[in-house]
Every structure is written in structure tokens, then in C-alpha cells.
Amino acid sequence: MTKDFAFLTGSWQVDHRRLAKPLTGSDEWDTFTTPSLAWNYLDGGVSIDETAMVEQGVSGMSIRLFEPDTQEWTVRWISSRDNVLQPPVRGRWDGQACRLSSKEDYEGRPIDVSYNWNLEGAKPQWDQAFSEDGGKTWETNWVMDLTQGDPTATDDPSLGVHLPKHTSDFDFLTGTWDIHHERLKERLVGCTEWIELDHVQHARTHFNGSISVDENHMPGLYAGLTFRVFDPVAKEWAIYWIDGRTGQLGEPVLGSFKDGVGDFYGYDEHAGQRVLVRFRWTVESDVKAQWEQAFSTDEGQTWEVNWRLFHTKRAE
């Protein structure tokens, strides 16, 4: 799809310079170094990195989505302090540079925000800048210089161990799974014909279990990525589906596990009709699990199950 962020795949040492008090006229900078690991998914359409700021007791993650229709990227930042997805910055690459921007609030006042990538030097560099005057002037408040480690690295179990263990709900999913699908050919029309297919799923967890990601390339259908984030205050998960055809983050379903069964609910539209959606996870063992999707047109009084997935974990 795109190779824009292919350079970022693998492990990195990141040297940070961060302004202690942005937009105050201060020139006091904090400096520190962190490990980081990055992955490309969906043929380059999704880029994710996790950075462990151990001395600060926090981790950060960027999730980047490429929209084929607009040829633009959206980038969202999430901190382990609250596990809240921040509003996206949006932009595109121009040669060796990428600029993304958005309008946000900072400490109660409106600002413009920009993220900037520069690949023209010996090392990749990223910076963040704020503007209070509509983009006429900018104050750079965070600079990262990246030094490449192992470009083939895919896992580093030490990245999240400094964080609190809020949940282990989706730890079981980490690894590679063989999945058998049973998918209703047509939904909400009384159809009883099921389509069967098989695919392989790869999943990993981040933030010491509070984020779960899996990639799915489904033959004859499409590719997608599931992004799950646990809210440690509400004690519930927000589960987002990213359709590889659009590169957009869908509305989440919300829910939690109880006694090995997880129920997650949200709203969607099907054939012009608003439907209540339920995802249900049933964890049978360390190597067996089931997932199903169901729709309701009467606010949950009755359900039509339209998709079932049977998971069998591959041996390590």
C-alpha cells in the first residue's frame, strides 16, 4: 500500500529533548534516552511504535493510519498515564519530510499543533511544535533523534515491565493463531447460508497488557487490524476495528470480561439501518478461544449472530 513509515520498523534508541514548560517563555529542557520498537501492519497502511520512558514511569505509543482516498496520514498519541487516544494530527509526506497538524486545547486554551518528520540528515528526526497565533509563529517543544538498532526486531518483552499491571484480559491472545471463520452470507434478512474460510492471525500486547493489537488478512474479504485499549479507571476495554480499505479508526465497542467471557457493545450502521453490535470472546484455554459478532435491531432484545471465529494457537 505505502512504504512511507517502512523506515521506522524495528528497534531504536531515541534521544529526547523536551521543553519543561511549553508556551511560557521558558528555555528549560529535559533530556533523556529511551528504547523504542516499531511495527508496520496492513502492507504499510498502519504504523505503530511503543516507547518506554522508564525514568518517567510512563510509556507512549503512536498509531499512524494511512487513508488511501486522501493519501494522508492520521497520527494519534496515547500515554500509559491514562490510556486515552489523543485527537489525531493529519498530513502527508513530501519527499523526505512529513508534516502533520491539528487544532487542540492545551491547558484550557486553543492551540495549533504540528508533528514533523525529517529524514534528510544522518538520522531520522521528529519534533512537535505549538502555535498560539494560528500558525504564524511556532514553539518547538519536543525533539527526538533516532538511532537505528535492529531493523528486524519484532518484540521486546522488557518495554512495558515498568508499568502497573492493570489487566491480563488479552494476554492470552499474544502469539500466532490459526482461525476458522463461519460468516453469514447476508445479514438481517433471514439468511441461513454460511461462508467458511481460514486465515492466520498475529497478535501482541503493549503497555504491560493494557493495549492489544492483532492483524488479520482474510482471503476473499479484506485485511484489518484490531486495536484494543483498557481504561484502568472504568475497568473496561475500548475495541477499535481498522478496515484496511479505508485506513480509518472506527467507533469502538466497549465492555469487559467476566469468568472468561468478554462482552463488548457499540453501534454501527448496516444497509442504512442503525444496529447494536455485540462482540463476544470466550476463552476456553491457553490455546483455544472463540469470538462472535452479533447484530440487534431492537436494542438487544434479540440478536442475530453473523460471524464466528474459532481460534487455535500455534506452538511457539
For 261, other C-beta atoms within 10 Å of its C-beta total 12
Specify the DSSP class assigned to residue 82.
T
For residue 59, the number of C-alpha atoms closer than 13 Å in the C-beta half-sphere is 24
Amino acid letter at 49? Answer: D
What is the model's pLDDT at position 207?
98
Nearest Cα to Cα of residue 184 among 290, 306, 309: 306
- pLDDT value at residue 250: 86
The phi-psi region of residue 135 (left if phi > 0; otherwise alpha if psi is between -120 and 50; otherwise beta) is: left
Provide the pairing of β-strand 97-106 with 139-148. unpaired
Please state whether beta strands 273-283 and 10-19 pair in parallel, antiparallel, or not at all (unpaired). unpaired
136: left (phi > 0), else alpha (psi -120 to 50), else beta? Answer: alpha
| 289 contacts: CB under 8 Å, gap ≥ 6 | 172, 173, 281, 282, 283, 311
Give the pLDDT of residue 244.
95
What integer pLDDT is reported at residue 92 of this predicted model?
Answer: 97
DSSP state of 87: P
Give the residues of the chain that fall short of pLDDT 50.
none
Cell 497565533, residue located:
133
